[in-house]
Amino acid sequence: MKKILLILSAAAFLVLFLKILVFAFEVTWQDISGANLNLKSLLVNPDNARLIYIGSDKGVFKSEDAGESWRNVLSIRGKNKQINFISAGPSSGDSLYAASGNGLFYSPNQGRNWDRIFKGKSVLESECTVLAVLPGQIYLGTKDGLFISKDRGRSWYRQPGRLGHGHILSIAAADKDPQYVYVVCPDGVYRANYNVESWEKIFAAHQVENNNHSESESEERDEEKQSPNIKYVSVDPNNANEIYLATSTGVCKSRDRGESWEALTSYGLLSRNINFLLVTNKSIIYAVTRSGVFDYQAERWRELSLGLRADEISGLSSDNKGNLYAACNTGLYKVNIRDEVDCKNASPLVLYTKNEPDISQVHKAAIRYSDVDYEKIMLWRKQASKKGLLPKISLGVGRNVTDLWHWETGSSIKSGDDGLLRGRDAIEWNANLNWDLGEIIWNPDQTSIDVRSKLMVELRLSKSLIINGLRT
């Protein structure tokens, strides 16, 4: 019985160990921030990874060499200088927008010149939080309402209703098919038809199913006292029907533009409180929590931030070369994640062993490690046969000092009798020549080497030389 319990415990430990390895995938993050700290916003050109913009409390910084060097292209005046969001224009790659704590700024030439195109009438209106630039319209979120411009920022009007007086947290729309616009505020998610602009609430706070989004009592409370449980909305670039929400209880997904919702599994997440979502051009989902960065593969979450030194992660971005970027309080970090396995259909064991070598690679590595193969054995055989033709020569020289000092006794007449006298030195030398003619035979059946001696000839010369003394 004890053996069975021991085996079951070992098996359970092994399964837990494999799960930890699968869900915690350590990657090497590279710091490319150039000493820029407290980042709140990030924009990477997906087609040109060398062009990067970051926003902090000191302004907008631009890099044209993939983070090797940075220069400040926009500085904000006033008390609140924080850059909360950076966005590019829908068509021209030169257009650039920066939502700051003191208005919205626009650059038509990649940050060389800037103009402020929105300034709120109050402190809350002036603090721009998020932005969505669509063909013909700009949606601007502030801490006091949603503002819309249809003439490229020359004039603005406040959206009436609930969205016109509240903290706008996130705005999203499909780049390829901007038929709908999605806006997140503390009480839920709103959707509007791009052409008609008729807003409807499609997701209520503290609810998952679309069938029950009636106004709750919490909506009557002061928004400052509420803790918004919906943080971010993202649209799949490859499928405008799929919408993702980052909430305090996990990630929710809609397959029909927000008509119905389902909760994704939280398996593998260290915290279900999701602050940010990124859906890449390859439909890969990344989530940011207070504990780190995770990606969603094979219906489970895997942590990618074991090597990321940051206490706060504000946003993520990606390019078309497989690079993932993280804007953090400690700077900007980049990592290249190469996944050769189809993660949507892969099992946890496949995910764990995807980087392991196959049988042929292990076989070649074993041969290299043992340093033995058939060709090397044949070479050794030739070398041994040639070496047998050469004699082994050994030379030796020695000095015998056994009787170097001795006592002289037996006479009382000679001088020096009964005294310690020095004896005679003896030097010996020898020379040996040895031929060992052998044959090395390789037996492939027994995988062994057989050495058979055929002839041995030895010539030994020796001589003793006595110098001033007795021979020992």
Model confidence over 34-64: pLDDT tens digits?
999 999 999 999 888 899 999 999 999 999 9
pLDDT of residue 276: 97
Nearest CA among 440, 435, 430 for reference residue 461 = 430
What is the helix (H) or strand (E) element at residue 458, kind and residue range? strand 448-467
CA 183 to CA 230: how far, in whole Å?
Answer: 11
Closest CA to 251 of 240, 324, 236: 236
pLDDT of residue 398: 67
Q: Which of 321, 325, 323 is nearest to 313 (CA)?
A: 325
The upper half-sphere exposure of residue 296, i.e. CA atoms within 13 Å in the direction of its Cβ, equals 22
Q: Which amino acid is at 227?
A: S
- The stretches in the chain having pLDDT less than 50 are 15-23, 207-228, 339-345, 438-442, 444, 446-455, 457, 465-472
State phi, psi for 68 to the nearest 5 degrees.
-70, -35
pLDDT for 129 equals 97
Domains delineated in the chain: 24-212+225-353 (2.130.10.10), 388-467 (no CATH)
The per-residue pLDDT for 6 is 59
In whole angstroms, what is the distance from residue 351 CA to residue 121 CA?
Answer: 54
pLDDT at res. 174: 87
- Give the end-to-end CA distance of the chain in Å, rounded to a whole number: 78
pLDDT given at position 201: 94
Name beta bridge partners: 421.
406
Q: What is the pLDDT of residue 22?
A: 45
**Where are any strands of DSSP class E within 135-284?**
137-142, 145-149, 157-158, 170-173, 180-185, 188-193, 199-204, 230-235, 243-247, 250-254, 262-263, 274-279
| The pLDDT value given to residue 132 | 95
The pLDDT of residue 258 is 94
Q: Tokens in use for 178?
A: 């901007």
N residues, the chain: 472
Q: What is the pLDDT of residues 234-280, one digit of tens each?
A: 999 999 999 999 999 999 999 999 999 999 999 999 899 999 999 99
Burial 383-397 (b: 16+ CB within 10 A, else e): eeeeebeeeeeeeee
Q: Give how far Cα 411 sits from Cα of 265, 406, 420, 469, Å.
A: 113, 15, 14, 20
